Amino acid sequence: MDDERDYAALDAFLREAGRDGYLLHASADLADQYYLSGFDAPDPFVTLYTPETTALLVSGLEYGRARSESRADAVRRYADYDYHGLASEHGRDEAFRRVVARFLDEFDAADVATNARFPLGVADDLRARDVAVTPDRDDHVGDARAAKTATEVEHVREAQTANEASMRAAETLIREASVADGVLRYDGGALTAERVKEEIEVTLLRHGCSLDETIVACGADAAEPHNRGSGPLRANEPIVIDIFPRSKTTKYHADMTRTFVKGEPSDAAREFYDVTRGAFDAAFEALEPGATGADVHAAACEVYEDAGYPTLRSDPGTETGYIHSTGHGVGLDVHEGPRLSEGADGELVPGHVITIEPGLYDPDVGGVRIEDIAVVTEDGYEDLTDYPVEFVVE
């Protein structure tokens, strides 16, 4: 894939909607903000993207860094619009409002699109000053972010390499554990979900990644896809390990899941695994440019339905079976576009980085999920995951 970002669709949207630009007010924690500005700041700042220029408005404290580190064509600081004078006359809040209005005026932006989660307070202020502010319900910046450049794919690949090291550390703990009274033991105590998570996190840190949360869930915990898991891990039950770290340097994520059984899985759990492996393969089989996210999801659903398990499309209210979508985009956000789910009718294109992560859940059996991360290529896909898919560990 190309190594140039493609803003053509964003520019066309702005032109067709009659907007002068795309406005953000957020810290770099908002992926759209970091993407458009290229500036990593912990407090909210303003970015105005137009087809001609990208301009930032930052506090004096961030001005030097914004000029040297951001991808903006122009950087302004509050003082450029007489913030101190305005603040002594009108107070700080009103001064900030006037500074933003003057900034937009300098860059001829009287009618702006914003992301849908743009802060209401700022929007109302601008509207009161006759700036038209319209939330972009179709998330055009998210669409631009979804199609990665070659450099962005490398960022994901690097994060995934760290991720695999942490999965290996977790798997090693489980392999090396002994079993007593049905519970995994290690280092003289029970091997807990918390202990495995700590090992994962320390390994990731040593590889330049961090993460907010990780899932190490066993038994009934694992039957709830969002349950993070806690307490002693048990033998003969599936243990779901789902790790989604972010590179501290590039801010790009990786994502992968493996499910392990220490000992002997039940027949039901083994069937969960075998069918999920089939759904995983079928989804990859369907993954290619021109296919839709819905197509890939349907391929996984068919395997489950053929094997007699409920899915959300065969039974929208089901609480067991295949109760989530097949995958999602991964980049600056761990969950971003494109979705691989029902109704996702946009075509996949080269550069889309996505997960394939089918799974089965039932409180009486536990949970099983297998997840790789891959990039769509001109002639199919490249799996960015280099980690064996195994179930039973001894």
Binding site for a second copy (CB under 8 A): 29, 41-43, 60-62, 64-65, 79, 84, 92-93, 114, 116-124, 133, 135, 137, 198, 201-202, 205-206, 210, 212-213, 224-227, 316-317, 319, 323-324, 335, 343
Helix, coil or strand: residue 158: helix
171 Cβ contact partners less than 8 Å away, ≥ 6 residues apart: 241, 258, 260, 393
Give the CA count within 13 Å in the CB-facing half-sphere of 313. 17
Q: Is 84 exposed, middle or buried (0-12, 13-18, 19+ CB in 10 A)?
A: exposed
Nearest distance from residue 263's CB to a second copy, in Å? 28
* Residue number, 212 or 379, with CB nearest to a second copy: 212
Question: Quick one: 110 or 205, whose CB is closer to a second copy?
Answer: 205
Closest CA relative to residue 384, chosen from 215, 158, 152: 158
The alpha carbon of 43 is separated from its chain's Cα centroid by a whole number of angstroms, namely: 21
Q: Are 69 and 87 in contact (CB under 8 A)?
A: no
Residue closer to a second copy, measured from CB, 77 or 262: 77
Least CB distance to a second copy at residue 377 (A)? 30
Q: How many CB atoms are located within 10 Å of the residue 220 CB? A: 16
Shortest reach from residue 341's CB to a second copy, in Å:
10
Tell me whether residue 119 or residue 182 sits nearer to a second copy (CB atom): 119
C-alpha triplet 135, 140, 146: angle, nearest 5° = 140
CB of 380 to a second copy, least distance (A): 29
Rounded to the nearest 10 degrees, the angle between the axes of helix 83-90 and helix 92-106 is 140
For the bound state, the minimum distance from the C-beta of residue 379 to a second copy, rounded and expressed in Å, comes to 32
- The SS3 assignment for 234 reads strand
Comparison of 18 and 64: residue with beta carbon closer to a second copy: 64
Q: Which is nearer to a second copy, 180 or 202 (CB)?
A: 202
- Residue 376 CB, shortest distance to a second copy, in Å, is 24
Q: Which is nearer to a second copy, 240 or 323 (CB)?
A: 323
Distances (CA, A) of 294 to 253, 283, 327, 350: 23, 10, 10, 17
Q: Tell me the two tokens of residue 172.
A: 């090693």
The least distance separating a second copy from the CB of residue 295, rounded to whole angstroms, comes to 18
Beta-sheet pairing, 74-77 with 54-58: parallel
Q: Is the dihedral of CA 43, 44, 45, 50 positive or negative?
A: positive
Q: Which is nearer to a second copy, 62 or 282 (CB)?
A: 62
Output the smallest distance, CB 123 to a second copy, in A. Answer: 5
**Whose structure tokens read 């307490």?**
231
Specify burial of residue 59 (Cβ count, 10 A radius: 0-12, 13-18, 19+). Answer: middle
| Smallest distance from a second copy to CB 226, Å | 6
Q: Closer to a second copy at the Cβ: 125 or 282? A: 125
